[in-house]
Amino acid sequence: MKIHTKAVHSGDRKRKPGEAVPVTVPIYTASSYFYDSIPQLDKVFAREEEGYAYARYDNPTNHALEELTTSLENGHGSLACASGMSAVQIAILTALTDRSKSIVAAGALYGATIGLLNNVLAPLGIAVTYVDICDLAATEAAIGREKPGCVLMETISNPLLRVGQIDRIAALAKAAGAALIVDNTFATPLLVRPLDLGANIVVHSATKYLAGHGDVLGGIVVADAAHYDTLRQISRVSGPVLGPFESYLTMRGIKTFPLRMERQCANACRVASMLRDHPRVERVHFPADPAHPDAETIARLFPQGLYGAMISFEIKDAGRDDIFRIMERFQLVVPATSLGDVHTMALYPVMSSHRDVPPAERARLGIRDNLLRLSLGIEAVEDVIADLEQALGG
């Protein structure tokens, strides 16, 4: 079944003989459930029989969303979480439960993920080693030296849009007995499905492209068969679960996600081309660029013509105040701290996504004070280009 069809149908319309079937999954707000047979409830609690007992364990609305995201990512099972960061954390805990408490992580990650690793997990005794995940030899050496419990990377890195060789890194991790966790938020399952490439766990900020409308805070973990039971066991006691209303909104958003993403990818290609020719722009970071440092990997792993909807670009001789003035001149582009919405958004990484990363570390990663990040929406691209041109000036 094609992903467009999965997005519309998976998880919905569960049929029971003789009952009317709602065309979309209802919002179940109950915190607990009962059965006529107490022995049956006992079996549900023991997970010997499918069913619902307590909302921290499971919920019919959440279950429908989880079935949908499992289908999109070709996984074994999913967990809907309260945020993308809660999804990253529980994915790491799942991977490390019966392995070495050590992580080899991509050096280029979302700033909050770096904060989680450095400020939450490292003080708990979990060793973290950073590596240039796009340097396969360096990654292989780090895995061999550190013998980690898991390897953590993003499909498309935030914010400089680097792309690692997921399939080959998955093979390295497997050979070392480590689990590979991939944050697939920027790419989405329309572009890349990391589990198909050998990853063990995939995470998403559902707030972004999946829900897609700027009205949901949520996260998704999709696991393979080897990790799913552990994921659910940890969830039952730690309780990072998404609310049923947010699950409903996310599921509704996913129904149009492939269509939105295709339009957003096309708009990004047009905008990236305009920015490359603009006299005020020093450099454009975009996966469709033939000169992209990971062009060979992108050509091998991405579908033809789909390169994601994120663009980062550097403005000539611009400092913090110059970037602020440009952002304040936007009339259509929304200067907000997120991505993946139907409207085009601009973010200043130094101020927001990587604010808590030390300046020296940002410099090492190539995140300069003149860098802006765009998330393309579904508007008429000509209007987006006109707004960017007037904001940038001559």
Residue 147 burial by CB count (10 A; 0-12/13-18/19+): exposed, middle or buried?
middle
Has 208 been annotated as catalytic?
A: yes
pLDDT score of 44:
86
Which residue out of 183, 224, 294, 387 is catalytically annotated? Answer: 183
Has 56 been annotated as catalytic?
A: yes
Provide CB contacts within 8 A for 209, sequence distance 6+: 185, 188, 257, 260, 261, 264, 309, 339, 340
pLDDT band at residue 351 using 50, 70 and 90 as cut-offs: confident
Produce one character per residue of 216-232: b if its CB has 16 or more CB atoms within 10 Å, e if not: bbbbbbbbbeebbebbb
Cα 202 to Cα 76: distance, rounded to the nearest angstrom: 11
Furthest-apart CA atoms within the chain: distance in Å: 74
Which residue out of 43, 47, 56, 329 is catalytically annotated? Answer: 56
More confident: 221 or 14? 221
Task: Choose among 329, 146, 342, 175: nearest CA to 253.
Answer: 342
CB 57 within 8 A of CB 241: no
Task: Choose among 91, 108, 77, 72: nearest CA to 179.
Answer: 91
- In order of 13, 232, 286, 386, the CA distances from 280 in angstroms are 52, 50, 17, 15
Provide CB contacts within 8 A for 305, sequence distance 6+: 265
12-31: pLDDT as tens digits: 877 677 778 888 899 999 99
Taking the CA atoms of the chain, what radius of gyration do you get in angstroms?
Answer: 21
Which residue out of 28, 52, 57, 110 is catalytically annotated? Answer: 110
Cα 282 to Cα 346: distance, rounded to the nearest angstrom: 17
75-123: pLDDT as tens digits: 999 999 999 999 999 999 999 999 999 999 999 999 899 999 999 999 9
pLDDT score of 192:
98
Task: Choose among 183, 182, 260: nearest CA to 214.
Answer: 260
Cα 212 to Cα 264: distance, rounded to the nearest angstrom: 11
Cα 70 to Cα 257: distance, rounded to the nearest angstrom: 15
- Please state the rounded mean pLDDT for residues 55-73: 96
More confident: 48 or 16? 48
Q: Is 359 helix (H, G, I), strand (E, B) or coil?
A: helix
Has 36 been annotated as catalytic?
A: no
CB 156 within 8 A of CB 287: yes
Which residue out of 162, 193, 208, 260 is catalytically annotated? Answer: 208
pLDDT score of 350:
85
CB 86 within 8 A of CB 112: no
Domain boundaries, the chain: 3-254, 257-392
- Please state the rounded mean pLDDT for residues 303-328: 95
CATH architecture of 257-392: Alpha-Beta Complex (3.90)
| Lookup: tokens for 126 | 């979990």
- Please state the rounded mean pLDDT for residues 282-287: 97
Query: What's the mean per-residue pLDDT of the chain?
Result: 94
Task: Choose among 321, 319, 355, 351: nearest CA to 335.
Answer: 351
- Please state the rounded mean pLDDT for residues 285-291: 96
170-199: pLDDT as tens digits: 999 999 999 999 999 999 999 999 999 999
Tokens 């979309």 belong to residue:
24
pLDDT score of 394:
61
239-271: pLDDT as tens digits: 999 999 999 999 999 999 999 999 999 999 999
The pair phi, psi for residue 39, each rounded to 5°, is -60, -35
Q: Is 320 helix (H, G, I), strand (E, B) or coil?
A: helix
CATH topology of domain 3-254: Aspartate Aminotransferase; domain 2 (3.40.640)
